[in-house]
């Protein structure tokens, strides 16, 4: 996609009314289509477009139902960041070569440019520190969103298996979700085809952290909330004293507005959100504006492309 096309698209995006969640679906479809069309060519999905969509999933408030799409977009941005990091390493290799073997017409980086590229490469003390900080922010954001979405999924009554589906997508290496029961390693070959895309970027240590912390907490949450819900329904039925099948009566409770209101109020008291709903927005802004954008725009300014 040319820069001219990017500017045209950006102008069109600015006209969207993002108070209408229907428009957010348009953004989601547009960005995911751009990503899936050719994942090896990042220019097909302009970074400004991805950032624009991400921000509108978290501002002014986090849209819980869009967390799966948000996770895919964050995985895409991290892939771009890692690619840029790799390109910076390549630049340093050529910088070293041409510094030692100068030739006519070859321009090497000046001192200021070299320092910036070294930081973006993840090499050296400064670069390693910056790369580790960016990665930790990204992983903390992704892991927290997974746990938050499992919590939210329990409340979606018209899709009773939603939380089970996403438990498998987010925590495929939990013992009960492994496709290969004899292999306890974190291997891409053991991942189901519809696993959340961020798993293809995680190290073994990050997979361990995700499953041992957020994964185990989600398992505990589902067990606790299942017991709580059954007891809550039983108490409500004891007051109503219905006739007929008790299990059918339990399901029918969710058609009673009074029960639903009482259920929601009690649920929110017993099971508060696992993280502050404002936290993802802050992490998103820091990650995009401190860790990703300066690197990408900096490399583009040093090595401008003709398109």
Model confidence pLDDT, tens digit, residues 190-228: 667 788 999 999 999 999 999 999 999 999 999 999 999
Give 91-150 pLDDT, tens digit per residue: 999 999 989 998 887 888 999 999 999 999 998 898 999 999 999 999 999 999 999 999
Q: Which residue has the higher pLDDT, 287 or 11?
A: 287
Res 307 pLDDT > 50: no
Helix, strand, coil abundance in the chain, percent, nearest 5:
75, 0, 25
Predicted local confidence at residue 70, as pLDDT:
94
Predicted local confidence at residue 43, as pLDDT:
45
Predicted local confidence at residue 245, as pLDDT:
78
Predicted local confidence at residue 228, as pLDDT:
96
pTM above 0.85, yes or no: no
The residue among 118, 90, 123, 95 whose CA lies nearest residue 108 is: 95
Predicted local confidence at residue 59, as pLDDT:
87
Predicted local confidence at residue 21, as pLDDT:
55
Residue 193 contacts by C-beta under 8 Å, 6 or more apart in sequence? none
Predicted local confidence at residue 36, as pLDDT:
52
Predicted local confidence at residue 219, as pLDDT:
95
Residue 21 CB-half CA count within 13 A: 9
Predicted local confidence at residue 33, as pLDDT:
57
The residue among 295, 216, 227 whose CA lies nearest residue 267 is: 227
Give 137-193 pLDDT, tens digit per residue: 999 999 999 999 999 999 998 887 889 999 999 999 887 665 554 455 556 556 677
Q: Among 8-12, 99-103, 286-290, whose mean pLDDT is lowest?
A: 8-12
- CA dist 191 and 73 (Å) reads 20
Predicted local confidence at residue 159, as pLDDT:
85
* Locus of tokens 């973006």: 120
Describe the crossing of helices 216-240 and 257-270 by its angle, rounded to 10 degrees.
140
Give 34-83 pLDDT, tens digit per residue: 555 444 444 446 788 888 889 889 988 899 999 999 999 999 999 999 99
Predicted local confidence at residue 31, as pLDDT:
60
Long-range Cβ pairs for the range 3-6 (8 Å, 24+): 3/307, 6/46, 6/48, 6/49
């Amino acid at each position: 996609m040319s820069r001219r096309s990017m500017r045209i698209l950006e102008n069109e995006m600015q006209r969207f009314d993002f108070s209408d969640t229907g428009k957010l679906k348009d953004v989601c479809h547009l960005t995911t289509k751009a990503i899936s069309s050719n994942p090896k060519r990042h220019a097909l999905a302009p970074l400004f477009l991805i950032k624009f969509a991400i921000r509108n999933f978290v501002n002014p408030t986090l849209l819980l139902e869009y967390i799966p799409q948000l996770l895919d977009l964050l995985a895409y941005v991290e892939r771009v960041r890692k690619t840029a990091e790799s390109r910076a390493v390549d630049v340093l290799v050529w910088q070293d070569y041409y510094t030692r073997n100068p030739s006519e017409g070859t321009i090497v980086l000046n001192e200021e440019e070299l320092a910036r590229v070294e930081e973006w490469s993840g090499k050296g003390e400064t670069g390693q520190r910056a790369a580790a900080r960016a990665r930790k922010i990204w992983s903390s954001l992704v892991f927290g969103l997974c746990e938050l979405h499992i919590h939210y999924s329990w409340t979606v009554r018209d899709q009773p298996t939603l939380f089970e589906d996403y438990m498998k997508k987010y925590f495929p290496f939990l013992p009960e979700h492994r496709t290969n029961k004899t292999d306890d390693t974190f291997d891409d070959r053991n991942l189901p085809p519809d696993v959340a895309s961020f798993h293809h970027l995680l190290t073994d240590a990050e997979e361990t952290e995700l499953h041992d912390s957020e994964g185990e907490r989600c398992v505990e949450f589902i067990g606790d909330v299942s017991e709580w819900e059954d007891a809550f329904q039983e108490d409500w039925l004891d007051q109503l004293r219905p006739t007929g099948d008790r299990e059918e009566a339990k399901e029918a409770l969710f058609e009673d507005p009074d029960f639903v209101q009482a259920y929601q109020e009690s649920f929110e008291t017993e099971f508060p959100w696992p993280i502050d709903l404002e936290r993802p927005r802050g992490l998103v802004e820091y990650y995009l504006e401190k860790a990703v954008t300066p690197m990408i725009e900096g490399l583009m300014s040093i090595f401008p492309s003709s398109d």
